[in-house]
């Protein structure tokens, strides 16, 4: 049996403008395109009737990964499509883990995409020009205390935050809790931005602070940006100026070093 190949493709955050040339080629050259329905729709302009399209449903990620691997192992050129970058809260990790567990896996390559944080950052200006952290607030695959421990770890560092999966219809208290923690650690005046549907038709930006943000405006189509300690408003833009980070009081560091 001939061997196929599986390409795990990041389609970017929305429209064709943010798709890489490699992602376009991977989808167009595939014999089989596998993906969650809305992601298949996101690349519909690239599809040809001769291609086989396998649309999956939410929550069937494991089955989708297996289907893509099976088809590639059977000799097909397969594109498994994800939004943004497939390696950022997308299909890449679980698919690679499953491939690694196979006795005779097909070749698998990952094609990078523009992740939502970068698309959102560009719309706002350059809020991630200094150090920043990317976190998901979803507790579907990770218990909540772990999400909270990680959030607190990076929040106290003062760097900017890009928060994915911030709130859904079913997950509402989590964002309330995160905002309360961030107000304690960062202060209510800290600038935040809600970037909805970056790169899509419904694209919209809301600016607020940790003290004034309305959680009801945050959905699963929102990337929540929390400015870092070097974040500044310059004209209409939110930017991070590395040189603006407050200096560290050396006394506690000296005390720590001498213990």
- Positions touching ligand SAM (CB under 6 A) are 13-14, 82-85, 88-90, 115-116, 120, 164-166, 195, 197-200, 220-223
What is the H or E stretch that residue 66 is in?
Answer: helix 61-73
Does residue 18 contact residue 119 with C-beta atoms inside 8 Å? yes
Q: Which is nearer to ligand SAM, 31 or 203 (CB)?
A: 203
Q: Which is nearer to ligand SAM, 43 or 76 (CB)?
A: 43
Q: How far is the CB of 245 from ligand SAM (least distance, A)?
A: 26
What are residue 3's phi and psi, to 5 degrees? -100, 135
Local structure of 257: helix, strand or coil: helix
Q: Which is nearer to ligand SAM, 165 or 230 (CB)?
A: 165
Q: Which is nearer to ligand SAM, 218 or 239 (CB)?
A: 218
Q: How far is the CB of 45 from ligand SAM (least distance, A)?
A: 17
Q: Which is nearer to ligand SAM, 128 or 164 (CB)?
A: 164
Cα-based distances in Å from 22 to 12, 95, 118, 188: 11, 19, 18, 43
| Residue 115 in tokens | 């992740």
**CA–CA separation, 104 and 46 (whole Å):** 31
Sheet holding 52-56, edge to edge: 52-56, 32-36, 77-82, 5-10, 107-111
Q: How far is the CB of 145 from ligand SAM (least distance, A)?
A: 21
Q: Which is nearer to ligand SAM, 102 or 140 (CB)?
A: 140
Q: How far is the CB of 17 from ligand SAM (least distance, A)?
A: 12
Q: Say what angle helices 144-155 and 173-186 make with each other, to 10 degrees.
A: 20
Q: Any idea which residue has 């300690």 for tokens? A: 229
Q: Which is nearer to ligand SAM, 99 or 195 (CB)?
A: 195
**Ranges assigned E (strand) in the chain:** 5-10, 32-36, 52-56, 77-82, 107-111, 125-126, 132-136, 160-164, 191-196, 204-209, 222-226, 231-234, 237-240
Q: How far is the CB of 64 from ligand SAM (least distance, A)?
A: 13
| Residue 127 in tokens | 């809020």
Q: How far is the CB of 138 from ligand SAM (least distance, A)?
A: 7
């Amino acid at each position: 049996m001939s061997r196929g190949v599986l390409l795990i493709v990041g389609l970017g955050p929305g429209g064709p403008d943010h798709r890489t040339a490699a992602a376009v080629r991977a989808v167009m050259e595939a014999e089989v395109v596998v993906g969650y329905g809305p992601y298949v729709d996101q690349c519909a302009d690239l599809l040809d009737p001769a291609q086989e399209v396998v649309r999956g449903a939410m929550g069937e990620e494991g089955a989708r990964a297996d289907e893509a691997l099976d088809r590639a192992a059977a000799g097909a050129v397969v594109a498994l499509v994800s939004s943004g970058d497939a390696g950022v809260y997308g299909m890449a990790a679980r698919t690679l883990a499953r491939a690694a567990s196979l006795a005779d896996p097909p070749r698998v390559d990952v094609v990078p995409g523009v992740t939502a944080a970068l698309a959102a950052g560009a719309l706002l200006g350059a809020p991630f020009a200094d150090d920043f952290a990317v976190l998901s607030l979803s507790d579907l695959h990770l218990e909540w205390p772990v999400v909270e421990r990680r959030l607190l770890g990076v929040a106290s560092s003062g760097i900017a935050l890009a928060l994915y999966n911030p709130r859904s219809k079913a997950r509402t208290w989590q964002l309330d809790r995160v905002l309360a923690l961030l107000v304690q650690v960062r202060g209510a005046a800290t600038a935040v931005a809600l970037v909805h549907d970056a790169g899509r038709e419904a694209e919209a930006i809301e600016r607020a602070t940790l003290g004034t943000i309305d959680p009801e405006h945050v959905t699963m189509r929102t990337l929540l940006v929390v400015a870092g300690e070097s974040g500044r408003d310059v004209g209409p833009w939110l930017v991070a100026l590395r040189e603006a980070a407050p200096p560290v009081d050396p006394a506690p560091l000296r005390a720590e070093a001498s213990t």
